[in-house]
Structures are given as C-alpha cells and as structure tokens.
Chains A and B, each alone.
Chain A
Amino acid sequence: MVPLSYYLVLSGILFACGVAGFLIKRNIITIFMSIELMLNGVNLSFVAFAAHWHALAGQIFVFFVMVVAAAEAAVGLAIIIAVYRTRETLNVDQVNLLKL
C-alpha cells in the first residue's frame, strides 16, 4: 500500500505548481487551468486522507469541490470569452481597466 505521505507530497507538488502557474503566467486561460490544478491538488489530499482514516467526509467534500469547480469553469470560461471579445487579448496585465 502506498503510504499517505506520498499522496500528500504529490498533492503539495500539484498545489505548488498551481500557485506558481497562477503567479507567473499571463495568459488568462493558463491561470484558469492553474486554479483547477490547485483545486485538484487539494482534492487529492482529501481523498488520500479519507482513504487513510476510513472517513467518508473527505470524499463527499471532493464531490462538492468538483461541482463548484465545474460551475466555476462554466462561468469563468464565459467571462474569458466575453473579455476576449471586448479586449481582443487574453493577457491579464492588459485587462486593467479598474486599476488606478
């Protein structure tokens, strides 16, 4: 059996990749995908804990996170399309209308 720590390390790596991508990338779609990566990194740790402690609550939470992530993806992609249509770019640094 794979030890819990392996899962957690993988989960941490996934989350860190997500964070790094979020901070470094400028393309809004890549950023979006980085967020999904962070969410899934967390999901992985949930599932690992649930299996390790034989507690179902972790798995249930994962379903919730997936539902929310799906909803978010639907809304977020719609926004991205709207942004692209108006600004003709996906570079976040150029979408700075609200900045002073």
Chain B
Amino acid sequence: MTSSLNLWLIPVLPLAGAAINGLLGKRSSRTAVSIIGLFFSGAAFAWALSVAWRVSPAALPYPEYIAHWIRSGSFSADFALYLDQLSLIMLLVVTGVGFLIHIYSVGYMWDDPSYYRFFTYLNLFMFFMLTLVLANNYLLMFIGWEGVGLASYLLIGFWFTKDSAASAGKKAFIVNRIGDFGFLIGLFLIIQHFHSLNFTQVFEQVRPYTAEANGAGFLTAIGILLMVGACGKSAQIPLYVWLPDAMEGPTPVSALIHAATMVTAGVYMVSRSHMIFERAPIALTVVAVIGTLTALFAATIGITQTDIKKVLAYSTVSQLGYMFMACGVGAFSAGIFHLMTHAFFKGLLFLAAGSVIHAVGGEQDMRKMGGLRSYIPWTFLTMGIATLAIAGFPPFAGFWSKDEILWQAYSSPHGKVFWLIGLITAFITSFYMFRLLFMTFFGDYHGAQVDEHGHGSHGHGHDDHGHGEPHESPMVMLAPLMILALLSVIGGLVGIGNRFEHFLEPVFGSGVSEAAGEAASGFTEYLLMGISVVVALLGFGLAYLFYVSQPLLPQKIAASLNGFYTTILNKYYVDEIYAKLFVKPLLDGSTSILWQGVDRKVIDDTVNNAADGARHVSDEVRHMQSGNLRSYAGWIAAGSAVVIAYMIWMGVR
C-alpha cells in the first residue's frame, strides 16, 4: 500500500473555499472572491491529479478512514473514503470539469450583485459531490446525495427574486425528494438484510447470490428502489420533469450541476451497486427500459424546443437515458465512459450556450438568434466541436462512448430492441443538435432589436453594458471552452481497444465484456459503427435541409403534423398530466381536508370553543361577585352548609 493519499483533502478543500467565501465574501472584492473560489476548486483538482498520479493500480481499492460516525450495536457507518478506478474517474471528471466551470463563471457572473454567493454555492456543491463520489458507505453517499440536491436547489433559485426561478428550485427539490424516498427505503432494505451500509461488506454478502436464484427477490426490490432514487437525481422517466425547469439557474450551473456532474450521480450510484444489479435481472431490465424510453422520449421533445438551454436540457435527459441503458444491459463501464465524455461535451455545450446568451445580451430564444457565426467565431468553433461530439461523428468523444453503448446493447441477450431505439435516438440527437447549431449560428441575425425588449426578463444576471451587436466573450470564458473542446475531441480515444473498459475491470469484473469480446463479432461491430455514423450524417443532413437550405420546410411539416407537433411542443403535456394527477389532488386534499377540515374544524375549533366556553361560564359566574357583602355572606353560609352536610353524610356512612 502506498503511503497515505490524504483523500480527505479533496472534498474538504472546496468546503473551506465555500466557508471562507460564504463568511467573508460579502465584504471582499470580486477579485478576492474569485481567487478563493478558484484556488480551492483548483487545489482539489490538483490534489485529485496527484492522487491519480501517485496511486498504483495494485493499491486500489484504497480505503481511507477519517473518523467514526455512527456506531449502534452491530451497525456502523463511518466517515471513511474509498478510492477505486470508478471513483477515481468520477473524481477527475468532477474536479476537472468543475474547475473549468469555476474559471468560466468568473467571466460569466462578474456583473452579478451576488457574485460571492455564487462561488460559495459552487464550492459547496463541489464538496458534496466529492463526498458522494468518495464515500465508502451508502449513508455517507446519501449525505453527498442530499447535499448536491441542496446545492442544486440553491443554484437553480440563485436569482430568487424571479418567481419562475424560485419555483423551479422548489420543483427540483420536491421531485428529487420523491426519488430520495425510494433510495432511502432501498437503504433500509440493505440494512435489514446485510446489517451494513459499507460498500465492501454489502457486496461481499451479495456475492454468493446468483442471478438465477429465486430466493433473492429482495435484491430485485433493492435494485428497483435504488433506481427510483437514481431516476430522481438523474432525471429519468417519470421524475425527469425538474431538469428542464432547472435551466432557470445561471448557465454555468446548468453546465456543472445539471449536465456534467450531479445528474450523473444516479448513474454512478447504479454502477457502484452493480453487484446488486447484476444479481437482480428484473431490476436491471427496469433500468434498461427506463433509460431507453427516457432517451427517446426526451430526444423527441428536444426537437421542438426553441429555448437554447431547454434543448440542451432535454438532450441531457436523453443522454442520461443512454447511460442507464448501458447500465441496464450490464455494460457499466460503457455507461461510465459515456458519463465522462458527456461531461466534456455537454459541459462544453452549456458553456458555449452561455457564451451565446452572453453575446446576445441575455436572449435565450434561438428564433431571435441566427448568423452568429461571424460575430462569435470561437464560441461557434467550440460549440461546433461539441455538436459533432454529441451527434456521434468520429473521432469525437461522443462517437466512441455512444457506439460502445449501442454495441453493448446490441450484443446483450435481449438487447436488439434497445439498440434500435438507441439508434433512432442517436438520429434525433444529431438532428436537434444541428438544428440548434444552424438556428443559432447560420442564416441572418434576428436579434438586432434585442435591446429594446426582452432584455430585462432574461438578462437578469448578465452583463448590462448595452450592446448593439453580438460580441465575443472574454478570454476567461473562452479558455475553458477551448480546453473542453480539446477534451471533446480526444476524450473518446481512451476507449479505443476497450482500454477504458480494462481500466475499470477491477471494479466491474470482466464478465460484462464477454459477449462483446468474442473474436467473431469484429465485423458486426464495425458494421454497427458504420450504421451509427450514417445515422448521425442523416440527422445532420436533415437539419441542414430544414434549417439552412429550405428554412420554410419545418413550418409546413409542423403544420401538416398539427396535433402531433403541438403535443411534442408542449412536452407531451407531462407537466399538465402531473399537475392533474398528483399536484391538484394533493392541493385539493390539503385545502379541503387538512386545512378546512382538520386545521380549521378540529384544531382551531377546539381552541376557540375552549375559549368561548370559558367566557360563557365566567359570564354566569361573575354575577356572584356583586359587591353586596350580604350576598357574599350568603354564599359563605351556603358553602359551609354544603360542607357540613357532606361531612355529616360521610360521617353517617
């Protein structure tokens, strides 16, 4: 074993940054706040890199004990960290992308009055996310899990004076709570059966069970409940509704929390629990089905959205569905691979979108953009790279990971249908991403009048120096874009020859790649690769046709598909259905039963009636106190008579 790696520093550094900025930031200058925010997140990244450098694969998994926390009978949960290949990758992604987004935020948020608050929350988020990733037991993981939920809530509602932002924050929190409920029950089941929440101990006890053994039905229950938790955090059907609304937050937040890191926590958790899922085939199928459906469903909504961030939000939901599909067919390492590349290109897409929004003065509606290519060439270039990456063009990062998932799905026993839906989704993804690119950067600029209207409603936190025409973002914002663009280009190359998979083998075991590793399948794999490239090209071509060469065509088609189009435009009315099905009954029940019934009729009336009764009684009784001495004497005499009568009565008996 190597000498101590001091893993604890990685989460604690951002916490220190959050504490310093949170306590002193209000009175500090913006420069000081930025230095502290950047230093502590950067230091965490540097330390994570040094850990990755110093640790030898043989020393993994590496446990680190910090302090004991809960000791109750035979059950214990400690503040203890756990580093293996899986958490190492998550560690580098979170700290690396997180640090880049910190840098970007310096430029993006510079003019915001609550600048220090933003960095406090951002650092706090890093702390919780790293706790989640490094925890060695489910309980500590849950702390991080809830913590990132808190940070997400605070950041979605960062501009809390805006009503929509405040309620979007609440929505995210409440929907996540539903998922957390499932997660918690899953944890209770684990405690009941394994008397521990420690990863190593739980998995050691799970190991003897086999997927075929029917006696292990509780493993299925645990798996499904954990998946409910993952659905909440990672925005899967049916709990995905919060993520699109979460775009009310500042764009760097959307990039960091709602694209690159936090929303992937569910994927991480499912992968971390792969020992359980592998032994619960039904739960695994549930994961695959939910992931695949979400991928397709969200992608179709993405086609019709006109808000640039909303498109990216639905794209994120869709890509997360991809990751779950990978986990569901047992290809956990492919899921984590896609998680990593997705963090690069989706983080980049959001940051570039932020740069676009910055350039046009806070406008987010793509219909009011267009032709920005010449105004903001660097943003265009980086966003173009990210689009190519997400659409799955070789050799960009997204191609390798997406293809790996599709291949794994295809070669899994019942995976053909997953593969087909995944392929359709890939086509739609390519289409809507190029639609976004074309609407934003090609054609004519439609936003010249942007300064006359709509500025106040969207551009709350953005720079307010009135700009007649779009302008490129400062270097502090462009540099992270370029680094991420570079990663989006080369990030996928680590997957060539299954190197990524081999790296994760100590965690996931080699079983998953058995089907894929057969020598005879080489041709099929290349064929499938070719098909996905063709599909991506098709998406590109269709988008080019619709939004560059024949700009009037989309309207005609939309008109001819009238009902269907409006359904998708309104996001399948899911929000409305939820409102009718869950929110309204809850609201009505609360109003008529709990408020008017219980609170008014039972609690309030009890108190009021007690007071009324006291007043009525005293109304009668106070007549006794007339001030007439002889009536007092009469009362005394009567009272004595009663007492005497009583005593005689008792005495007789």
Contacts and interface: CB of A to CB of B under 8 A. Distances in A.
Nearest to A100: B627
B637 interface: yes
A92 B627 contact: no
Contact of A19 (B627, B628, B637): B637
B633 A96 contact: no
Contacts of B637: 19, 22-23
A54 interface: no
B653 interface: no
B628 A99 contact: yes
A92 B633 contact: no
A99 B637 CA distance: 21
Interface in B270-309: none
Nearest to B640: A19
B628 to A, nearest CB: 7
- Residue among A19, A92, A100 with the highest chain B CB neighbour number at 10 A: A19
Chain A binding site: helix, strand, loop or mixed by DSSP? Answer: helix
B627 A99 contact: yes
Range, interface on chain B = under 10
Contacts of A100: 627
Contacts of A19: 637
B629 interface: yes
B143 to A, nearest CB: 68
B627 A23 contact: no
B629 A23 contact: no
Contacts of B634: 23
A71 to B, nearest CB: 21
B628 A23 contact: no
Contacts of B633: 22-23
A99 B630 CA distance: 13
Residue picked from A23, A92, A99, A100, most chain B C-beta under 10 Å? A23
Contacts of A96: 627-628
Contacts of B630: 22-23, 92
17 contacts: A19-B637, A22-B630, A22-B633, A22-B637, A23-B630, A23-B633, A23-B634, A23-B637, A92-B629, A92-B630, A93-B628, A96-B627, A96-B628, A98-B627, A99-B627, A99-B628, A100-B627
Given A23-B634, A93-B628, A99-B627, 8 more contacts: A19-B637, A22-B637, A23-B630, A23-B633, A92-B629, A96-B628, A98-B627, A100-B627
Interface of B: 627-630, 633-634, 637
Q: Which 3 A-B pairs have the closest CB atoms?
A: A99-B627, A19-B637, A23-B634
